[in-house]
Amino acid sequence: MRTLLRPTAFVDSPFGDDGKVARLAGGLNWFAMVELIAVDGHTRVSTELVPVEGVESRFDDDMAAQWQALTSPRAPLQLGERTIRVDQPQVMGIINATPDSFSDGGQFADAASAAAAGADMASRGAAIVDVGGESTRPGAKPVWEGDEIERIAPVIRQLASGGAAVSVDTRKADVMTAALGAGARMINDVSALTWDDRSAGVIAAANVPVVLVHHQGAPESMQDDPHYDDVLVEVYLWLEEGIAAAEAAGIPRDKILIDPGLGFGKNVAHNLELMNGLALLHSLGCPVVVGASRKRTIGALSGEAPADKRLGGSIAFALKAVEQGAQIVRVHDVFETVQALKVWRGLRDQALTPRL
């Protein structure tokens, strides 16, 4: 039996509430309450909502470590010469150099057009451009490493040479190595280093940040009938184990980011429960990435709207994520998301401006 800590009751400003609110992960969010989630195995058995004031008197050593993780600032990400601050939400733009990705597969005729789209994303405010050469949508088949490298390497090379901070979306060590050689400085692994047992070594040797994405099952079958006894708790514990494995492989914790993997072996209810409880993941002590852009859940909630008609839902998910302290949102629609976050940031800045 252990107890997990989920921050909640977010407030606009800490002014006048010394000791009654806590700052989340060194960012722009403060919370006044904590949900104490008692867990037995992989399932919650009880919950209790308690004020921040005095909550530390309830802590055992494990809870104290979680609290330290919840309230400690996250180190900036270093992508080559680019420093990405995570004390404010950032946007990661998606470039799929694939023929079959669910939203933008086949959109780019060649590497030059894909790179141009990525450069446009960077100019519109994407802090990171994430380039992928293998679709991991539900039902997708694996792609041979050589084909994947041929798709992504020239795109990454052009983007990196133009000064963009580039991440590569892959689960294969050989593709990671080729992408790093082309100028990528971050790895986004939808398998969380479980698909290729050489991947962790590649990342540790390169000393670059890595995103560990939760998944259940392989892309070919992950949406057939996903099941969890308690999706929020199970994802938390799975990511906790993934972080420990990455550290054991030589990857420093300040290079590790986590992603709950919306849509990767999860139905609509699972995705919504994860978004509602997202703030729990901050007690793992790593920056949180959320990729909900244009996903199937949005269509399911809006009359089966196709992928290219899911902008409103994508923005709603992005704002829900940053309201709970997510440091990075991974999106297709960069300009619109950046604009939404600028308005959100304006609201936060006004709330954090002393009135007296």
Boundaries of every domain in the chain: 2-71, 77-351
Write out pLDDT tens, residues 339-350.
Answer: 999 999 999 999
Over its C-alpha atoms, the chain yields an Rg (Å, rounded) of 20
Instruction: Tell me: pLDDT of 189 over 70.
Output: yes
The pTM assigned to this predicted structure is 0.94
Distance CA 193, CA 181 (A): 19
Please report the pLDDT score of residue 142 as a whole number.
Answer: 79
Q: Closest Cα partner for 34 from 4, 12, 57, 11?
A: 4
CA angle 64, 39, 324 (to 5 degrees): 65
Please report the pLDDT score of residue 137 as a whole number.
Answer: 67
Instruction: Tell me: pLDDT of 197 over 80.
Output: yes
DSSP 74: P
Mean pLDDT (the chain, rounded): 94
E strands in 120-268: 128-132, 166-169, 187-189, 210-213, 256-259
Tokens of residue 189, six digits: 């692994």
Q: Closest Cα partner for 213 from 146, 160, 167?
A: 167
Please give the CATH superfamily to which domain 77-351 belongs.
Answer: Dihydropteroate synthase-like (3.20.20.20)
**Mean of pLDDT values over 325-346:** 98
Question: Which of the residues are catalytic?
Answer: 295, 330
